[in-house]
Every structure is written in structure tokens, then in C-alpha cells.
Chain A
Amino acid sequence: MKRVQFANPLMPYMLLLPQLVIVAVFFLWPAAEAVRASFYLEDPFGFGATFVGFDNFTDALSSSDYGRTARFTLGFTAVTAFFSLAIALLLAVKADSVIRGASSYRTLLMWVYAIAPPVAGLIGVMLFDQHIGPLSEMARFLGWDMQIGVNYYDTAFAMVVISVWKQVPINFIFFLSGLQSVPKSVQEAAAIDCRSGTRRFWTVTFPLLAPTGFFLLIINITYALFDTFGIIDLVLKGEPGNNPVTLVYKVFLDGFRGNDLGGSSAQSVILMILVFVLTVVQFRMIERRVHYN
């Protein structure tokens, strides 16, 4: 490792300062604020706060509404992560085996990734629009009267489809590069050892992709839990009603619509702990990733 020497000992800290400031202002401070607020009952109009200990946490965890949202979030995350990974893997395997025009296919499949999440969400919402959306029209044609924003399951379905659609390209890029790093000679050796291409995939290629897969699984769980906020908001058009929401969306609803800052802070602290656990798991996985080299 090359060691860089600075003439001024303060120099490295100066260079790090902008990043540290960003972390402090946009992460540490709000996080600390949320932790503090989670122990108080805030007056909705901002006239002071009362310390209530763990009441916000026990209230949140014991409410049937929270349980219902948590169950939906769990299901939503599992389904979204599974389909994002499965579709991306399928596409990557197919793209990897294309020989002619391979780079054009790959570029096309990665395109969606370049779209900003709100724009992707908006396009997705348009596709599912009650009146002009081609997907709703197709569903009606197939005899499914899709009512986004009215029917609980239809809304959930649209949320999952748009979230998966947005996430597939990034998974695709990782899987494709993972596939391309499987040595060609190993695949050839497998072709001599095993006749069935499907069996070869599950016994040789897939295990070699597993490190990429673990890494993506964590990334996708995090994505489905947190980054789908924008998509959910667009699908619901800011009017949740009786529609399904995820835990992150509930934090926003309770805090800013319900004006229950203490309760919503408690929920966000719970989520913070969840992120922390996921991050630890992810780092463990990344450490283990090197083991095939």
C-alpha cells in the first residue's frame, strides 16, 4: 500500500471534511434527533414534549396496524427481491449466451437503470393508469378489472411490478458481470462432465454466482424495504386510504400526516436497527465473497 505524505498534517482532514459534514448533517444529526424524539410524546403543534420512555416503541409494536404493515412489508420485500433477482438472473444468463450483437442487447437491458427512480415510478404509474395505462387495459382484456388505489391486492400488485421493473437492470448488470467472471474453461470442463445444460447451470454456474447472489439479495432487501418509498407514493398518489403501505411509508404517514412525531420516530429507530443488522450481514458476506479466488 502506498502511503501519501502530506506537508500539512491538517490536509487529509480538510479533504475529508465535505464528506464528514454531509454525513453529520444529513445522517448523524437526524438519526440522533429521531432517537431522541422516539422517547418523547411531542405536542402536535410543537408546544413542548413529554418524556415517555419506551412507550412509543411498545405502542408501535403492539398496534394491529403496525403488525399488518409489517406483514405486508415482509411479503412485499420477499416478492420484490425474489422477482427482481430471478428475472435479472434469467436475462443475464440469456444475454451471456448471446454471441451476435451481445453488446447491443446488454446496453438495452441496462437502459432502465439510467432512469431516475421518480421518473421510473411515474412511467410505471402511467403504465398502470386506470384510463390510459396499457397494462391495465391488457389486464381488462384478460378479464381482470384492475383497480389501482381501490383494490388492496391490485395496488400491491402494481407496487411490486414497478419496483421489480426498476430494480431488474442493476441486478442484471451484477449477474452478467458475475457470469462473465466464471472461467470459460470451467464451463467447458462442465460441458464434458455433464450433458444437461440446466443441471450444469445449477451445479456449477449457480454456485459460482452465489457470492454475487448473496450480495444482491441484501441490496435488494434494502431496496424493497426503503428505496421503494417513491414508487409507493406515486402509486398511491399520496392517498393511502386502505391500501397497503410499507413500514417506511408508514413512518412518513404517521409522522407528517398523523403528526405523531414520537411514534413515527420510534418506528424509524426500529428500521434503523434493521438496516444496521442488514449492513453487518452484508459486510460479512462481502468478506466471504473472496473465497472462490
Chain B
Amino acid sequence: MAGISLNNVRKTYAGGVSAVKGVSLDIEDGEFIVLVGPSGCGKSTLLRMVAGLETITDGEVTIGDRVVNKIEPADRDIAMVFQNYALYPHMSVYNNLAYGLKNRGIGKAEIDRRVREAARILEIADYLDRKPRALSGGQRQRVAMGRAIVREPAAFLFDEPLSNLDAKLRVQMRIEIKKLQKSLGTTSLYVTHDQLEAMTLADRLVVLNGGQVEQIGTPIDVYENPASTFVASFIGSPAMNLMEIERSGEGWALSRGEGLSLTCSLNETSAILGLRPEDLHIIEGDGAINDPLMLSVVVTAVEPVGAESYVHATLGETGQEIIVRAPGKQHFEVGSVLKVAAKKEKLHFFSSETGKAIALEGNLQPA
């Protein structure tokens, strides 16, 4: 077992397309790191560079205390789980698991012990004689996991391993992967575009965008303190409400004119205000408000999802849309006016130029 460290890793393809633009990351031994981002953000390329399936244009990848840039995939002491499982179709499940061990000159008895142990853990012991084509998607996924486990590698690399499964199985396998990783304590690097998967699995999240790291942190940290508007809109479902605001006399207004009841001082002339749907609470009647932000919105649609409802609304005549999370039992009329408010610590501000978060300390005081 070992940590993995990336030092300013870059990938530029022959055509000059730059997929990864300098990523640095230190993964502790035994840590579960999830690389998350939209498609084309370079997360898979980064993982494949760690695996050795893509050449590294620039920078260094270290596994344990070895720089592995020039080392063959088979010699990097890693195991990878592929999106489409990549099982060997002509081999039985047993041989799929044993193949990597045989090639490493491990004794028959030891191979047998490891394969049976992995099969027991993953509950695929009954299928060891079958060919992959005779297995369901979920079983194939387990075999792919088994092939990684038997190797007892320094690190597991997962390339969107759950995206070919149906929703129910995905949730189940997600939990199993997490349990398995904790019990084995193997350093893991996991790629996904599903922010929910990323949040639930990760010890630390790495949010990638356009080949660069947007933010690294624990899931809760990333959720509560997004470093940029990109992270704010990518992590969390429904996404954070973002609205452009500018200074208007003593107070603040939406960039498209509508006044805001926002009582805080900010050293900028314009900014982006971010509000999570669940941080907006609905004010009944003329209740006294101590919160620095209060909005009047017109309900345009309601999405009840059971335990809660997502109320889609517009801010006055500007057309600025926001989503408010409300308790599931509450009823809303489309076209009715709602008053919503948010607490000071729930407000997020981002620079209008760079999209980076503006620190709350110092810049924001109650007016």
C-alpha cells in the first residue's frame, strides 16, 4: 500500500489539445479520492495517466516512493476497474481473477486462496466456472472488482465503474465499494461524473474543470464552501442558485434591475450571490425577519419528490430563476408570491470576474 502523488501533471495530445493542464495532488495511504467533473474535464485522462495507459506529457506521478512516469502499467502495482468491466470474454470468472496473478509468477495454491477469498467477499463464488457472457451486469461488475482485489495492489483505480448499472444496483454497489475500500484500506482513485456518487464515496473530492483542479476538499467542505461558481453549480442537487448582483445606492440590486433586500457590506461593486435551495426558508405572513437577505418570488412550478418539494420561482420581473427547497407536505399555488429569507452564514459570494469565492470574513459585515 502506498500514497500517490501528482506533481504538476499535464497531458497534451498530438493535435495540440490540452486535456490536463497541470494537476497537483497528494493522496495519503489508504485514502479514497474521487475525481469528479463534467465530461471532457480530463478526469479519466488523469486516471489513465496514473494507470500508465496514457503517456504523461509533463510533470511527475509517484506511487509509493517510485516515480512511475516511465514504468509499464503492469509494473505500477495498481489495479483498475473499467467502466465496461473489460473482462476477458474467453476466460472463466476464475481465470479472469487469476490471470494477473499467473503472469506475476504467483504459486497455484496462493492464487487459489486469493481467488476464493475475493469470490467469497464479493459473493461470486457460485459463478467461478462461468464465462462473463453468462453473467448479469451486476455480477460482471463484481468480477471486475474481484480482479482488482486479488492483486492486492498499492492502489485501486476506478474509471466510472458504476455508470453501466441501473439506478438501484448502482446505489447498492456504491455502498459495497465504500465498505470494501474501508476494510481493505487500499488507496483508491475513483473517477465519476455523478456528483452524488462523488459525495458519498469520497474521503476527499477533487473537482476538475477544463483540465484544472477547481477545488480539493472533503465532500462536506466542498459542499459548504465551494471555491468557485463552477463547484457551486456542479456539487449539490438541485444546484446552488446563482445571481449576479451589483451595488445600488445603499443596498444591492440584481444586475438586471430588481432591488434586493440584502443588508450586508461587501467591498465589491458587483458580485455573484450563491444560495443553496435548502438554505432558503419561507417566511409565513409578516413574520419579523432578522436575516440579512429577503426575497419576494413568484412560484412558477413545483416538483414534489416526497420528503421535500423543489419550488421553482422567479424573482420579480427580471426572470431570474431560483429554486427553493420546501417540506414535502406544504402546498404551493403556481403564481402565488412567496417571501424567502436566508441566514448570513448561508450566503456565498463569488467574484463576478473570476467566479472564485470571496471570503466571508472581512468582506461581509452586517450593515
A interface residues with partner B (beta carbon < 8 Å)? 183, 185-186, 188-196, 199, 203-204, 207-208, 210, 291-293
Contact = CB atoms under 8 A, between A and B. Distances in A.
Contact of B90 (A191, A193, A196, A208): A208
A122 B352 CA distance: 77
Contact of A292 (B79, B80, B89): B89
B84 interface: yes
Interface in B312-345: none
Nearest to B78: A192
B80 A192 contact: yes
A282 B151 CA distance: 40
Interface string B80-104: 1011101111100000000110010
B103 A208 contact: no
B89 A208 contact: yes
Contacts of A196: 103
Contacts of B88: 186, 189-190, 204
Contacts of B83: 185
A186 B51 contact: no
A185 B47 CA distance: 14
Interface stretch (B29-37, B67-75, B116-124, B300-308): B67-75
B53 interface: yes
B72 A195 contact: yes
Given A192-B51, A193-B103, 10 more contacts: A185-B83, A188-B53, A188-B86, A189-B86, A189-B88, A193-B100, A194-B99, A195-B72, A195-B74, A203-B99
Interface of B: 51-53, 72-75, 78-80, 82-84, 86-90, 99-100, 103, 133, 147
A192 B84 CA distance: 16
Contacts of B86: 183, 185-186, 188-189
18 contacts: A183-B86, A188-B51, A188-B53, A188-B73, A188-B80, A189-B88, A191-B52, A191-B72, A192-B74, A192-B78, A193-B74, A193-B100, A194-B99, A195-B74, A196-B103, A208-B90, A210-B90, A292-B89
Contacts of B90: 207-208, 210, 292
A7 B12 CA distance: 62
Contacts of A186: 86-89
A194 B103 contact: yes
Contact of B53 (A183, A191, A207, A210): A191
Contacts of B82: 185, 188-189
Tell me which of B53, B79, B83, B133 has the highest count of chain A C-beta atoms within 10 A of its own C-beta: B53
Contacts of A188: 51, 53, 73, 80, 82, 86
Given A192-B79, A195-B75, A199-B103, A183 B133 contact: no
B115 to A, nearest CB: 14
Nearest to A189: B86
B171 to A, nearest CB: 24
Nearest to A192: B73
A197 to B, nearest CB: 9
A193 B144 CA distance: 12
B73 A191 contact: yes
**Residue of A183, A192, A195, A199 most packed against chain B (CB within 10 A):** A192
Contacts of A292: 89-90, 133
Nearest to A204: B88
A191 B133 contact: no
Contacts of A191: 52-53, 72-74
Given A185-B86, A189-B88, A208-B89, A291 B133 contact: yes
A193 B99 contact: yes
Nearest to A185: B86
B13 to A, nearest CB: 12
A260 B103 CA distance: 62
